[in-house]
Amino acid sequence: MVRGRVIALSVTDVRFPTSSDQHGSDAMHTDPDYSAAYVVIETDATDGLKGYGLTFTLGKGTEVVVCAVKALAVHIVDREFEEIVGDFRRFYRQLTSDGQLRWIGPEKGVVHLATAAILNAVWDLWAKQEGKPLWKLLVDMDPQKLLSCIDFRYITDALTEEEAYDMLKHGKLGQKEREEQMLKNGYPAYTTSCAWLGYSDQQLKELCVKALKDGWTRFKVKVGADLPDDIRRCKLVREMIGPDNLLMLDANQRWDVQEAIDWVSKLAEFKPLWIEEPTSPDDILGHATISKALAPLGIGIATGEQCHNRVMFKQFLQAKALHYLQIDSCRLGSVNENLSVLLMAKKFQIPVCPHAGGVGLCELVQHLILFDYISVSASLENRMCEYVDHLHEHFKYPVTIKKAAYMPPQDAGYSTEMKEESVRQHRFPDGGIWQKLISGQNV
Ligand SMILES: [Mg+2]
């Protein structure tokens, strides 16, 4: 049962020096230091459980997200936990519609990343209190209760609450079998770890050999900085993985619209399944234009890791601007907003292929895609979840990958908790830990 009053929220700026080895490098982010604004909430319940949440960042700027978490903390500290999750839609709106703070959003940018970190901690604590991994909490939840977590404001022209209810009700059919299937085989994944932009050809070859040996059949290559370089690297990877394995490309927003069409057309011979983030993540009509132009080449459009909110996802779907929808557990307003996007994707019959990697993104998003398969999409066609093999050792409940599939987590919670030692070691020196307590006193 849900219990306790929230008595404290703390936030820490945690940074990992991934840029030193070019891990995570792409055409736009050449020196990422994978980082997180890491939130912990505590209640006065005697069970000693805490909620852990994070949002992902690339190093500099994490301190800004931390500031936004501090500004939002007033909405959660000194509240009954039952009051928060008992009417989660109301609480979500309070966070995202604060009469003053919404001016620096609304529902986008730094303030929304901070919202994600806080709400991820709330979901972690809720799942822990119920003694279930988050995906199972969602799968077992009554459709009406699930709907009560979603803010339908601004999306009812695409998806009404009644339609969503029917989908969730329908999703109950065969749920048990799909859950068993996931527990046995896991959710299919693809790897981005072989071909970061900053890796040498030799490194790329060695990593492909190892990944193939480990059973990977789906590979993503970073492109967009230099065309002859991309042709050479795509040729190399295609040769390594053979004609039958899947190849995806990711430009991380590098091009203008026409430039994207021209560039990707020159990579068509390598038979990529999709081009990811070909242009500005905000350019919905630009994506639609690229999508139309590349369709005859059999190349789809994937995007979403920097899509601000459900409203933009709605428009991407309405404009037929994407073929693969990439939710992100730390960009949108946590599970609440992701639920609305999963349901819209189902309605528009677009496969969801989550964005993951970074720090903690695999740990979190696996729960959402498991729920999507078991209770919403009921299909694995054209579906897979991104995987990157970095930084899992810092988590108390790291992902388990078997035969290139995510095995459903068994521990209660949202897999968000980092090891204390890791947080202590990687705390940004200028950051420290900030804590808001029930007394109003900040430490
Ligand atoms: Mg990407």
pLDDT greater than 80 at residue 277: yes
| Residue 195, pLDDT score | 80
Instruction: Assign 141 a pLDDT band (cuts: 50, 70, 90).
Output: very high
Ligand 1: centre distance to CA 179 (Å)? 28
pLDDT greater than 90 at residue 124: yes
Ligand 1: centre distance to CA 438 (Å)? 40
| Residue 346, pLDDT score | 98
pTM over 0.95: yes
pLDDT greater than 80 at residue 331: yes
| Residue 21, pLDDT score | 78
Helix, strand, or coil (residue 362): helix
Strands 218-222 and 187-195, bridge-based pairing: parallel
Ligand 1: centre distance to CA 276 (Å)? 6
The answer to whether 406 and 365 are in contact (CB under 8 A) is no
Question: The domain 6-131+420-437 belongs to what CATH superfamily?
Answer: Enolase-like, N-terminal domain (3.30.390.10)
Q: Model confidence over 392-410: pLDDT tens digits? A: 999 999 999 999 999 999 9
Q: Model confidence over 173-221: pLDDT tens digits? A: 999 999 999 999 999 999 998 888 888 999 999 999 999 999 999 999 9
Over residues 322-350, the mean pLDDT reads: 98
Over residues 144-150, the mean pLDDT reads: 98
Ligand 1: centre distance to CA 108 (Å)? 18
Who contacts 186 (Cβ-Cβ below 8 Å, separation ≥6)?
Answer: 401, 402, 403, 405, 406, 407, 408
Over residues 40-50, the mean pLDDT reads: 97
Q: Model confidence over 12-39: pLDDT tens digits? A: 999 999 888 777 778 888 888 999 999 9
The answer to whether 403 and 215 are in contact (CB under 8 A) is yes
Which residue blocks in 220-301 are alpha helix, DSSP H? 227-241, 257-265, 284-294
Over residues 223-237, the mean pLDDT reads: 96
Domain range annotation of the chain? 6-131+420-437, 169-407
Quick one: which of 323, 354, 349, 324 has its CA closest to 338?
A: 354
Ligand 1: centre distance to CA 13 (Å)? 23
Quick one: which of 148, 149, 154 has its CA closest to 108?
A: 154
| Residue 439, pLDDT score | 66
Select which of 355, 367, 394, 426 is catalytic.
355
Q: Model confidence over 417-440: pLDDT tens digits? A: 999 999 999 999 766 678 878 766
A 10 A CB-CB count for 239 gives: 12
Domain 169-407 listed as CATH 3.20.20.120: yes
| Residue 289, pLDDT score | 98
Catalytic residue list contains 136: no
CA distance 350 to 353: 10
| Residue 440, pLDDT score | 63
CA distance 324 to 47: 42
Catalytic residue list contains 222: yes
Residues above pLDDT 70, as percent of the chain: 98
Residue type at position 267: L
Ligand 1: centre distance to CA 281 (Å)? 11
Quick one: which of 133, 110, 69, 72 has its CA closest to 416?
A: 133
Mean of the per-residue pLDDT values of the chain: 96
Who contacts 252 (Cβ-Cβ below 8 Å, separation ≥6)?
Answer: 26, 27, 28, 29, 222, 224, 276, 277
Q: Model confidence over 253-270: pLDDT tens digits? A: 999 999 999 999 999 999
Ligand 1: centre distance to CA 302 (Å)? 9
Select which of 108, 128, 222, 426 is catalytic.
222
